[in-house]
């Protein structure tokens, strides 16, 4: 197995209200270089809270109450993110770990051009880059995710939902991080655009070698793209394993319930997820054939 890039140990987050809500409870995970780790679970189980906690973007009343998040750099150095001060954290965030937020395609500033929003990343984190270098880099990033560089002069409302999502992915990889956390990155996209986005993520992962934490409630999607899957319930990880093993031999009853919650288009009511997954793969294969034979 490849080297670890992130180790999460006994990580816990509470919402400090009365009574306190234990949103994330003693989560331990290891993410390896180049791996896609899927994080699945129903709405409200703590997936997004865990993601925000990893990069320390939680807002009160949420608070990290235990555990460690350790980043392992390529040069062999280890960094405990919980011990970083504000300036250290500001410098490390997006440079080593970046995030594509839930509802990311609506996260762009509506009154600022795509170019200016891209350049702001480099002005902040790469102040020595010249204006010419920034503009060249911005265009290269857009083209890398399949968007014409001429779109840099556009405003968000002039782009489709799929294009805005691609822009957000390009921004997340602008500083060439070793880890990308993607929180529901294909929500509200149709199956064709979703397929294009997933294909781009896989291609970029293979090309650049970053690791991905992919968060979604769509378990069939995770079964398709993930190397390993962690199933989360009530703030805790209840099962973790290879995607194929989790599909063919789920060990936890909650995992079996999640798998059974996706009905098949062709099977009997209440049939197991294999029908739904097979339907999904058939639909996506049909998209591939249509694209190859226009």
Q: How confident is the model at residue 287 (pLDDT cuts 50, 70, 90)?
A: very low
For residues 134 and 142, what is the distance between their CA atoms, to the nearest angstrom? 12
3-state secondary structure of 115: helix
| For the chain, domain boundaries | 4-261
Q: Is the pLDDT confidence value at 31 over 80?
A: yes
Instruction: Quote the mean pLDDT of the chain.
Output: 86
CA dihedral over 279, 284, 290, 292, signed as positive or negative: negative
CATH tag, 4-261: 3.40.50.300
For residues 260 and 201, what is the distance between their CA atoms, to the nearest angstrom? 27
- Rounded to two decimals, the pTM is 0.86
Task: Report the DSSP pairing between strands 36-40 and 21-32.
Answer: unpaired
Which two structure tokens, joined as six digits, stand for 144? 């890398």
Residue 251, number of CB atoms within 10 A of its CB: 13
Q: Is the pLDDT confidence value at 38 over 70?
A: yes
Residue with tokens 């929180």: 183
Angstrom CA distances, 207 to 36, 64, 148, 173, stand at: 14, 34, 19, 12
More confident residue, 281 or 15: 15
For the range 76-79, what are the long-range contacts, defined as Cβ-Cβ under 8 Å and sequence gap of 24 or more? none
3-state secondary structure of 62: strand
Check whether the bond before 25 is cis (ω within 30° of 0).
no
Check whether the bond before 61 is cis (ω within 30° of 0).
yes
Give residue-wise pLDDT tens across range 127-183: 999 999 999 999 999 998 889 999 999 999 999 888 898 899 999 999 999 999 999
Give residue-wise pLDDT tens across range 101-131: 877 667 889 999 999 999 999 998 999 999 9
Q: How confident is the model at residue 272 (pLDDT cuts 50, 70, 90)?
A: very low
Percent of the chain exceeding pLDDT 70 equals 87
Q: How confident is the model at residue 266 (pLDDT cuts 50, 70, 90)?
A: low
Residue with tokens 């890039």: 5
For residues 271 and 262, what is the distance between their CA atoms, to the nearest angstrom? 8
């Amino acid at each position: 197995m490849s080297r670890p890039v992130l180790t999460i140990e006994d990580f816990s987050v509470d919402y400090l209200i009365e009574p306190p809500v234990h949103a994330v409870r003693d989560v331990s995970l290891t993410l390896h270089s180049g791996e896609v780790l899927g994080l699945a679970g129903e709405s409200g189980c703590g997936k997004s809270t865990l993601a925000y906690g990893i990069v320390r973007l939680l807002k009160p009343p949420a608070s990290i109450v235990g555990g460690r998040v350790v980043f392992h750099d390529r040069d062999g150095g280890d960094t405990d993110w919980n011990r970083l001060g504000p300036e250290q954290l500001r410098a490390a965030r997006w440079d080593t770990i970046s995030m594509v937020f839930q509802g990311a395609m609506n996260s762009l500033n509506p009154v600022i051009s795509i170019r200016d929003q891209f350049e702001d990343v480099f002005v902040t984190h790469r102040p020595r880059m010249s204006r010419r270098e920034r503009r060249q880099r911005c265009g290269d990033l857009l083209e890398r995710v399949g968007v014409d560089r001429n779109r840099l002069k556009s405003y968000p409302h002039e782009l489709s939902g799929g294009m805005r999502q691609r822009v957000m992915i390009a921004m997340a990889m602008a500083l060439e991080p070793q880890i990308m956390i993607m929180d529901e990155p294909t929500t509200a996209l149709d199956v064709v655009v979703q397929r294009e986005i997933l294909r781009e993520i896989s291609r970029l992962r293979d090309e650049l070698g970053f690791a991905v934490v992919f968060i979604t409630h769509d378990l069939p999607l995770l079964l398709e793209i993930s190397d390993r899957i962690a199933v989360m319930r009530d703030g805790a990880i209840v099962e973790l394993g290879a995607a194929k093993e989790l599909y063919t031999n789920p060990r936890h009853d909650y995992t079996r319930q999640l798998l059974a919650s996706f009905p098949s288009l062709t099977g009997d009511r209440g049939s197991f997820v294999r029908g739904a997954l097979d339907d999904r793969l058939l639909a996506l294969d049909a998209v591939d054939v249509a694209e190859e034979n226009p």
